[in-house]
């Protein structure tokens, strides 16, 4: 099964065609197409390529919805001091359905120059 590892929002995600992932909020409305250019690794089941071998590869997706994540609560407490603080937040997320993974084609000349 083919998959790729992409980087977006400072995090890395392992994605395959048909997957649905939640990433930090991206601009776009439901139904809009997205392209992730920062592909770190690609595997088609037999061959594994990374680094300059995946240069030019892209992962395409479609925005499913804009949403908020689960509520996270941080509680600070110091015993016997009368100190306690509660703060919380909900991350803003974009749900993306991965529609395709394409490998960039590099010419043999560019590959030869990269190895020298």
For 9-53, the pLDDT digits (tens) are 999 999 999 999 999 999 999 999 999 999 999 998 888 999 888
Angle at 29 between CA 25 and CA 33, to 5 degrees: 90
User: What is the Cα–Cα distance from 55 to 14, expressed in whole angstroms?
Assistant: 17
**pTM metric for this prediction:** 0.79
Confidence at 116, pLDDT banded by 50, 70, 90: low
Number of domains, the chain: 1
Query: Is the pLDDT reported for residue 107 higher than 50?
Result: no
**Residue 81 falls within a domain, yes or no?**
no
Give the model's pLDDT for residue 110. Answer: 45
Domain range for residue 43?
Answer: 3-68+94-115
Tokens standing for residue 42: 């690609």
Handedness of CA 61, 20, 31, 71 (dihedral sign): negative
Overall average pLDDT of the 102-115 stretch: 55
Distances in Å between the Cα of 30 and the Cα atoms of 6, 35, 52, 67 are 21, 15, 33, 11
**Residue 111 falls within a domain, yes or no?**
yes
45-86 per-position pLDDT tens digit: 888 999 888 888 999 999 999 999 999 999 999 999 999 999
């Amino acid at each position: 099964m083919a998959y790729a590892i992409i980087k977006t929002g400072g995090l890395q995600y392992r994605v395959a065609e048909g997957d649905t992932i939640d990433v930090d909020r991206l601009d776009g409305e439901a139904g809009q197409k997205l392209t992730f250019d920062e592909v770190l690794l690609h595997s088609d089941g037999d061959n594994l390529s990374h680094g300059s071998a995946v240069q030019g590869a892209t992962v395409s997706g479609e925005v499913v919805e804009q949403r908020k994540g689960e509520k996270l609560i941080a509680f600070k407490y110091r015993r016997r001091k009368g100190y306690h603080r509660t703060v919380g937040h909900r991350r803003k997320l974009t749900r993306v359905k991965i529609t395709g993974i394409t490998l960039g084609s590099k010419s043999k000349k560019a590959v030869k120059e990269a190895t020298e």
